Amino acid sequence: MNDLGDFRAALRQPPDQPFAEPDLARIMRDGTRLRRRRRVLTGTAGIAAAAAVVLVIVFAVQLRQPPPAPVAQPPAPVSVTPAPPPTTSRPPEEQPLGAVVGTGIRTPAGEIVFFARALDVPQLPKVRFGLVAGFRTGDSLQALLATNETRGSDVSFGFHATDGGEVVHEQLIPVFGYFAGPAARITTTVHGKTVEARLATWTADPTVVIFWFDPAEVPDAAVLTPLIAYDANGKRLTK
């Protein structure tokens, strides 16, 4: 028998042991376990991959977000020195020479008074004081009008520094002045009528007499006739 015939004859021979039936249940069980394990592995890999994606996304979002704004720090404490209280500008207090002479004339600003003020003018070496009309309120003095001799000596015999008869601070200042000498009476004539002045001896020099006229009787210096001084005996001291 040739080789081909031998091969065919061998195929027709029955097997020495019969084929066992395959265990289909075991085969299906093993396949199920393999598939399940694969799914789990695939699922773990997917979760890991998803986690990686989430981390990448979160990191990318963090990169895209603007940097946080700087937190404002409270200002450092500054030492503040309190400013001194504002000073009110006031005229210097008058320092009268001798006593202040009150007239008894009351105004809303105070009583009209007269007082002497020291002077130091190089061009007038013999004039050491002047006369001031002003207001007095309590112990406060406010000067309104000042006058003084402008030639020779301030205590030479006769009338000096006659002024007034004008409105200052809405108040008519009486006509006033002083006489150096023993005057006990001073008069003038206004519209043909004799008018007497009020007198006060200057306490700093008793030889000087301060005088003034009532504004109701002598409203203006322009209405005065020449002033006349008399001594205590009625003797006329001036021409």
Residue 205: predicted pLDDT = 96
Do residues 203 and 99 lie in contact, with contact meaning Cβ atoms separated by under 8 Å?
yes
Pairing, β 185-190 against β 193-196? antiparallel
Half-sphere exposure of 167 (CA within 13 A, CB side): 3
Q: Which two tokens stand for residue 194?
A: 């004799």
Closest CA to 97 of 148, 47, 58, 49: 148
Q: Which two tokens stand for residue 188?
A: 């003038």
> Phi, psi at residue 170, to the nearest 5°?
65, 25
DSSP 1: -
State how far the Cα of 152 lies from the Cα of 94, in Å rounded to an integer.
Answer: 26
Q: Domain map of the chain by residue range?
A: 24-61, 97-230
Residue 66: predicted pLDDT = 52
State how far the Cα of 227 lies from the Cα of 178, in Å rounded to an integer.
Answer: 11
Question: Helix or strand or coil: residue 54?
Answer: helix
Residue 124: predicted pLDDT = 95
Do residues 212 and 195 lie in contact, with contact meaning Cβ atoms separated by under 8 Å?
no
Question: Side chain identity at 22, as an amino acid letter?
Answer: P
Instruction: Tell me the CA end-to-end span of the chain in Å, nearest whole number.
Output: 201
| 151-185: burial string, b at 16+ Cβ within 10 Å, e else | eeebbeeebbbbbbbeeeeebbbbbbbbbbbbbeb
Residues of the chain below pLDDT 70: 1-94
The answer to pTM > 0.85 is no
State how far the Cα of 206 lies from the Cα of 52, in Å rounded to an integer.
Answer: 118
In sequence order, what are the residues at sequence separation of 6 or more whose Cβ sits closer than 8 angstroms to the Cβ of residue 93? 140, 141
State how far the Cα of 41 lies from the Cα of 51, in Å rounded to an integer.
Answer: 15
What digits encode the pLDDT tens for the residues 17-27? Answer: 544 455 545 54
Residue 48: predicted pLDDT = 40
Q: Which two tokens stand for residue 180?
A: 């150096």
What digits encode the pLDDT tens for the residues 57-112? Answer: 333 344 445 555 555 555 555 444 555 555 545 555 668 999 999 999 999 989 99
